[in-house]
Chain A
Amino acid sequence: MRSLSIRVSLAVCAVALWGAARNLGWAQSTAEIFARLDQAAHTFTGATANIRVLTHTGIIDENETQSGIVVVKRYSPNEMRFLINFTGKDAQAIALRDRTLQIYYPKLNTVREYDIGKFKDLAQKLILLGFGMPGRELAADYDISNLGGERVESQDSVHLQLTPRASDVLKQLSRVDLWISLKTNCPVQQKFYMPGGDYRLVTYSDVKVNPRHLPASALELPKAAKRERMN
């Protein structure tokens, strides 16, 4: 009996040591991570993934989840377009192209278009945080802490903690936690912390980077839907 418990203890220790060793193996310096991101950003043309968004309202400790698919495509070094298609009871799709944010309401068969003007860069940088984004760009916008390797959604990833440098952004967004996959160099998870305890946890799975065939139509909303220009 005693030898059995010793063997179990040894096994547990071995597993823990193996885990720690793996963790150490993933751990990279921030400079190494930036170099990887810079390289990945250079070759990034687009990505597709499943997306799950959990919105947490802190004061009432409530979670609400939406899921769907996301398609990202780079059109120029400074322009990325995306389409997020949420499915289920509250189905809707959101697309960003140029300065126009489009929201598609399937039950109304309507696409509402908003010119987001000066907020375009902010929306693009926040929603697509980590997709094809060079490390230097991250470092320019955030103070970054490297929290080491973690396994998220069955993927080895590096956990970065980002604090916005701009004071106006900081008022609305206290911090962002970002998990970058070591395999795809794209985010596995983003966690946006708002002041007051609310947060938004976005998880990506089945991420396909630089898919061979990603037509422009993959980012388009239904053409038959009625278009309404809102501003």
Chain B
Amino acid sequence: MILTLVGISYGTLDETARRARGVGADIVVRPPATSVISLSSSPMSQDLLSFFMKQAHVAFATGTMIQPLSGFDTLTGIDLSQFNELSGGFRFVKGGPFQSDDDVIVDEYYARENRLGVGSTIKLMNHLWRVSGIFESGKLARICAKLDVLQSLTGNSRKLSQIYLKVDDPNRAQSVVKDLREKMPGYFIYTMEEFTSLLTINSVGLLRNFIGVVIGVAVIVGFIVVSMAMYTAVLERTREVGILKSLGASSGYILNLLFRETLLIAIIGTFTGIILTYGTRWLMMHAVPASLTQETVYKWWPIAGAISVAGALLGAIFPGWKAVRQDVIQAISYE
């Protein structure tokens, strides 16, 4: 459970970073953190694009509008011709660009998960959209609509959530960022490398807390299950423990026996868990490829193993202590 949930957390972030890199921009501009006053997710003026285009070494600028949907999904508004100029264009697997205002293009994972084909309709934000094209995954977003249409529907004319800049020489990105930060204090301006490096578990507070809770729950559940299993095992072997003690087995010997058994169960459980993560990964890839992306996070294998072993050993303490304190006569006569 720990490995699967950690894998989903890492997978989701890495997939987001991969799609951000797929945009082909060198710099990302995000609005100041004043949305609590403006109460808008798209507070930047579209006219900022012409300002950016006038800046030294900025070769191209385009913006997007992002509207959250359920779960991790978002609907992203793009100016397709501008976006193509920035990124080199989407590679369509089926269909093609927007034909009408109510058209969306979706990536192949989203299409597969939602069984969409070219010409299918889908209801997003209480609005009926037609799929005009399905593109190869890995660029910007999973679902894109026309920027001006999304702006109009949400009452945010000429407003943007994010701006992407391309510079004439990628080596100059850092100096352009420095220059822009001085001119626009309060705005979040990053090179693409900085931006994607921010997409880590530790920098996303919600995910960090999520993993903490998952580990906590897994340890508690593991502890209870192992404890109950060992307690039952000791009860079932009361007579055996009595015989062992009557034959002169010391408390240390019996505890050693129980602890070794627990350790073996924990190690087998860890390996089984690792193998099962490949199963859940396969399942997610085929059942919900757009919603959940699971990665194999190797560095978490020993951590999960240690949690499993520690939980199991802790769970064995009480039954072990009870076993060695049993009276030999009572134990042998136990039915």
Contact = CB atoms under 8 A, between A and B. Distances in A.
B157 A196 contact: no
Interface string B16-55: 0000000000000000111011110001110110110000
Interface in A76-120: 86, 89-92, 94, 101, 103, 105-110, 119
Interface stretch (B130-138, B180-188, B211-219, B285-293): B180-188
Contacts of B175: none
Nearest to A225: B126
A106 B155 CA distance: 8
B127 interface: yes
A194 interface: yes
Contacts of A108: 125-127, 153-154
B47 A60 contact: yes
Contacts of B157: 89-90
B95 interface: no
A86 B155 CA distance: 10
B68 interface: yes
Main secondary structure of the interface of B (DSSP, over half): loop
Contacts of B32: 172, 194-196, 198
Contact of A57 (B45, B68, B154): B45
Interface string A37-74: 00000000000000000010101101010000000000
A227 to B, nearest CB: 10
B185 A196 contact: yes
A27 B138 CA distance: 62
A89 B152 CA distance: 8
B51 A60 contact: yes
Nearest to B181: A196
A106 B22 CA distance: 34
A130 to B, nearest CB: 14
Contacts of A172: 32-34, 36, 186
A105 B153 contact: yes
A97 to B, nearest CB: 14
A200 interface: yes
Nearest to A176: B37
Interface centre among B37, B153, B184 (most CB of A within 10 A): B37
B156 interface: yes
Interface string A181-199: 0000000000010111010
A139 interface: no
A173 interface: yes
Contacts, number: 86
A104 B153 CA distance: 11
Nearest to A55: B38
Contact of A123 (B36, B51, B186): B36
A216 interface: no
Contact of A107 (B43, B44, B153): B153
Contact of A101 (B39, B127, B156, B186): B39
Given A119-B36, A194-B34, A226 B185 contact: no
A122 interface: yes
Contacts of B43: 55
A230 interface: yes
Contacts of A90: 155-157
Contact of A110 (B36, B126, B156): B126
Contact of B45 (A64, A101, A228): A64
Interface in B52-70: 68, 70
A228 B37 CA distance: 22
Contacts of A59: 48, 51, 183-184
Interface in B150-208: 152-157, 183-187
Contact of B47 (A62, A92, A107, A194): A62
A20 interface: no
7 tightest A-B CB contacts, nearest first: A92-B155, A195-B186, A90-B155, A196-B185, A110-B126, A196-B186, A195-B185
5 contacts: A57-B48, A123-B39, A126-B36, A127-B39, A173-B34
Given A60-B50, A64-B45, A127-B37, 18 more contacts: A55-B43, A59-B48, A59-B51, A59-B183, A59-B184, A60-B47, A62-B47, A89-B155, A90-B157, A91-B155, A126-B37, A173-B34, A192-B37, A194-B32, A196-B32, A198-B32, A226-B126, A228-B125
